[in-house]
Amino acid sequence: MVVTSSPSQLAKDWAKGYTSQPNEYEYEIQDIDGEIPSDLQGTLFRNGPGLFEIGGKTIGHIFDADGMLRVFRFQEGKIYFQNRYVRTEGYLKEQEAKTILYRGFGTQKSGGWFANFFNTNFKNAANTNVIYWGEKLWTMWEGGYPHQLNPETLETIGLDNLNGLLNKETFSAHPRIIDDIFINFGVSGITPQTLTIWELNQKGKKITSSSYPVDGFSILHDFLVTPNYYIFIKHPFKLNPLPWLLGFKSLEQCLTFDNKNQTKILIISRKSDTIEVLETEAFFGFHHGNAWESEDKIYLTTICSDSFPQREKDKMELDKMSFDKPIFGQLWQLTLDLTSKKVTRQPLVKRSCDFPSVHPAFVGQKNRYLYLNVASKVTNQAPIQSIMKYDQSNGQYQMWNPGERSFAGEPVFVPRQGTIEEDNGYLLSVVYDACIHRSYLVILDAKNLSSPLAQCYLTHHLPQGFHGTWTSKNFLK
């Protein structure tokens, strides 16, 4: 498909995908093009921002918007939808007060610097990821504890400290599951920091935990795991906290991406708790794909950019995004040589992309296929709209494009029952269609992305979300 929309039209359509959805729904989806596979039984849980205004005042960054679950339950060829806001303490207080009561990553309270002076109380937005593990449904936000919800009703139970496992640490929104072990991390402190890593069994009980000092300030959003290592990428940021503490600037505005410094790769042994640090030229990337070991090397895939997407203004003006300039984020493979201590980089996908994922059975193992969102245009001058299946063995790929004015979200891979073949399964993604201001769930055959198996249309739109997970349970009432 040839994309003909102007950059300004693309920006307006993309921004419409971040329109608030204040309503909560629960219904069986009836408007379906195609057929839902009979073996697709379970639940797709997704999370993301839902409210971008409070009392008529716009928040400063999508990272600060209240979390709203979007849930699709599959049973016997039918699909049931429900969305519900996480009733965090901040959500309840701001809805009652009808005004912004908390600062955030890019949000300032109303009232100027005096209202923000030494106010470091961020709202736990519970808006980044959601996962069912150890018979608990957690909504996750990297700056605090997870919230536990009822998986049948989506009612908020409350903050969960994992039976006292968490203390001052945060609990990341990017856990990894390898060999039926749930691994997550948290960070405490501002500069320097302490990194804590936990491994939990299938019942959600601790197997191991370990902590490590980290110099300076880091934005550790994601990580990777192999049978022998945890891998963290520490991008070169500097933080000047004084304007933030004095209330003059948001935290985002006090960050500087130091591209003259080195990106550090922390390789932590799962067996001995030792750390090795390798350095390479500066790059930034929120999300990683997968990592695997071979002899004395570690190979990993990650999204790389030479800059950090930072704004100078307090206002969130998404419709003024300029897609006529290069957008950050390309897929690279990094090779970490544990003998020579050198890092080499190889570009894989030279177009805007994000949200890479693999078949869950191949986490930490050498994998052939990556599933990710990419720009529909070959050039790196467009928002991500399409879904790609990338073959690392030969550089070939398949793409599904939802349409010139539509935007597909993170693809979640669901294996066909009883198989572990890397592309024997389904890709599920929530798509926003700006032409009709509605969203739909698309079901793709991971072997062949040429045509959807089903497009399941909602009666309304959903704001573009962040992350989600699949479970074989459907929790139907």
Q: Which helix (H) or strand (E) holds 7?
A: helix 7-16
Distance CA 441, CA 165 (A): 36
Give the 3-state secondary structure of residue 214: strand
What are the residue ranges of helices labelled H in 240-352? Answer: 241-245
Q: Residues near 314 by Cβ (< 8 Å), separated by ≥ 6? A: 60, 106, 108, 250
| Whole-number Cα distances in Å, 338 to 225, 233, 280, 288 | 16, 16, 14, 20
For 128, which DSSP code? S
> What's the farthest any 2 CA atoms get from each other in the chain?
60
- Our separate counts of H helices and E strands in the chain read 4, 36
Q: What is the CA radius of gyration of the chain?
A: 21
What would the DSSP string read from start to end of 369-436? EEEEEEESSSSS-S-EEEEEEEETTTS-EEEE---TTEEE---EEEEPTT---TTSEEEEEEEEETTT
Q: Dig out the tokens for 385 from the structure.
A: 């709209």
C-alpha torsion 365→349→389→439, nearest 10 = 120
In 3D space, the residue among 101, 103, 95, 91 whose CA is nearest the CA of residue 49 turns out to be: 91
Q: Residues near 290 by Cβ (< 8 Å), separated by ≥ 6? A: 224, 300, 301, 356, 358, 362, 363, 364, 365, 367, 370
Q: Binding site annotation covers 467?
A: yes
Whether the upstream peptide bond of residue 213 has omega within 30° of 0, thus cis, is no
Answer for the pair 54, 98: CB distance below 8 angstroms, yes or no.
Answer: yes
Distance CA 292, CA 309 (A): 29
C-alpha torsion 219→221→226→228, nearest 10 = 40
Q: In this structure, how many other beta carbons lie within 10 angstroms of the beta carbon of residue 19? A: 16
Q: Dig out the tokens for 250 from the structure.
A: 């948001």
Q: Tokens 């996480």 belong to which residue?
A: 86
Output the CA angle 370-428-396, nearest 5 degrees. Answer: 30
Q: Binding site annotation covers 61?
A: no
> Known binding site for Fe cation: residues?
174, 221, 287, 467
> Known binding site: residues?
174, 221, 287, 467
